[in-house]
Amino acid sequence: MLLNRIHLFNFRNYDEQQITFNKSFNYLYGNNGEGKTNILEAISFISFGKSFLNSSESDCVKFDTTVFDIDGVYESETGTEYNVHLNYDSILKKKTFHLNKEKVTRWSNEIFGRFPVVFLSPHSLEITYGNPSERRKFFDILLAQTSRVYLDFLRNYVRILKQKNALLKNQLNGNAMPGKDFRNVLNSVNEKMVEYSAEILRRRFEFLNKFKVYFRESFSFLTQRDDVPDIMYSCDFFETEKYIINEEVITDAEDLRKAMNSAIEKKQQEEMARGLSVVGPHKDDYIFRLAKNTNKAFELKNFASQGEHKTFVIALKLAEYHFLKDNLGNAPLLLLDDLLSELDSERVSKIISHLKNYGQIFLTTTGTGYSKELKEFYVKESINYFKIENGKVID
């Protein structure tokens, strides 16, 4: 998938701006705070439905205005064009999408995964540095784009989790129903939680076995050392290691249901005392590990250097790109926000040499210092340079 052009109106620091992109490499440069990242954020809104910076729509309305619009024209590999329009009204607090002038009623069903995009920015380090919810979100979004079934199970699980938490909280706060009725309702909710949990976990295990192959290949490209990375799934109520071994899936859904049901029974008194569900896929984590020079592996979050964190995240994102491309049959857009800062020159050269193997790329940086390296791998016609200054493309 290619993004041919975009039109911004009252978005962030842009009054009105139309940009026609190169089908290969788009190099956006300028001083910090001029609006480079805002263009990538606009692309994320029309591709993904939300900001890759997790900003709210209201944050993106230009100062002293109340509405923003983003128009984008995509082109498929067969040459078919798709026009996506996003409007946000800060007075009504309403976001409206149109695809080819037809109103989109359910973004996740009609758009999600159709225009795949991979973001890599300094904020991506939250995946390794942040709390478990950041890692679950990264992998859930990736998996949901390639599996509508997984997305449906995840939605159902979130819905039943909210119901259970509300039930437990009401009971704890004295808004109690009779004991027998409460138990019956709680048991019914737990049955659904067990069913959805088993399906979610089984698909997470299957996904992780496949994804680790992509990840290890991407990681090996980024380093010349014999470092060995790994991703492990951490679940309080289930021994996951025996289910994620050598890329072989041996997960049995019935085993998962039994384990989840047993854990809920053991934690029932704690849940009632806290008014909160404390067991399930919403509490799990992905553990990133690294073994250096054949030494014992250590957890990245606790012991890795900043450079090792950044290498790990870049490898995750490059693996995400290839996983989406292979499973969707559609090359994602690659948005690289300030990717090359704080990397040594050797690693910068290696990454730039590798980018020619990707599809349409959007890279932001503060200057043109990397253009020399790019010219070694791209012909002149394959790169567009855009100088961004005070919310305008002036070059």
Segment 134-161, tens digit of pLDDT: 999 999 999 999 999 999 999 999 999 9
Lowest mean pLDDT among 112-116, 179-183, 348-352, 354-358: 348-352
Distance CA 73, CA 31 (A): 28
Name the more confident of 369 and 77.
Answer: 77
Domain boundaries, the chain: 2-116+330-387, 132-302
CB 7 within 8 A of CB 71: yes
Closest CA to 49 of 14, 12, 101, 84: 84
Closest CA to 48 of 20, 86, 102, 2: 86
Lowest mean pLDDT among 66-70, 174-178, 184-188: 174-178
* Amino acid, single-letter form, for residue 110: E
Percentage of the chain lying above the pLDDT 70 cut: 94
Distance CA 16, CA 83 (A): 18
* CATH value of 2-116+330-387 in 3.90.79.10, 3.40.50.2000, 3.40.630.30, 3.40.50.300: 3.40.50.300
In this structure, what is the dihedral angle of CA atoms 205, 211, 216, 217, given to the nearest 10 degrees?
A: 160
Angle at 19 between CA 17 and CA 20, to 5 degrees: 160
Distance CA 113, CA 107 (A): 10
Sheet with 333-337, side-by-side order of all strands = 117-120, 333-337, 361-365, 25-29, 383-387
Distance CA 12, CA 312 (A): 31
Average per-residue pLDDT in the chain? 89
Residue 292 Cα to chain centre, angstroms: 27
pLDDT value for 303: 86
Lowest mean pLDDT among 18-22, 33-37, 173-177, 217-221: 173-177
* pLDDT of 223 above 90: no
pLDDT band of residue 167 (cuts 50, 70, 90) is very high
pLDDT value for 335: 94
Sheet with 228-234, side-by-side order of all strands = 228-234, 285-291, 298-299
Assigned CATH class of 132-302 = mainly alpha
pTM: 0.91
Size (the chain), residues: 395
Distance CA 147, CA 328 (A): 10
* pLDDT of 267 above 60: yes
CB-count exposure of residue 218 (10 Å: 0-12, 13-18, 19+): buried
pLDDT band of residue 363 (cuts 50, 70, 90) is very high
Name the more confident of 363 and 302.
Answer: 363
* pLDDT of 244 above 70: no
Distance CA 184, CA 186 (A): 6
pLDDT value for 37: 95
* pLDDT of 300 above 60: yes
Residue 203 Cα to chain centre, angstroms: 17
* pLDDT of 368 above 80: no
Which residue do the tokens 């305008």 mark? 392
- Both tokens of 363, joined, read 């890279």
- DSSP code, position 305: -
Residue 195 Cα to chain centre, angstroms: 25
Closest CA to 349 of 326, 390, 377: 377
In this structure, what is the dihedral angle of CA atoms 242, 246, 248, 251, given to the nearest 10 degrees?
A: 20
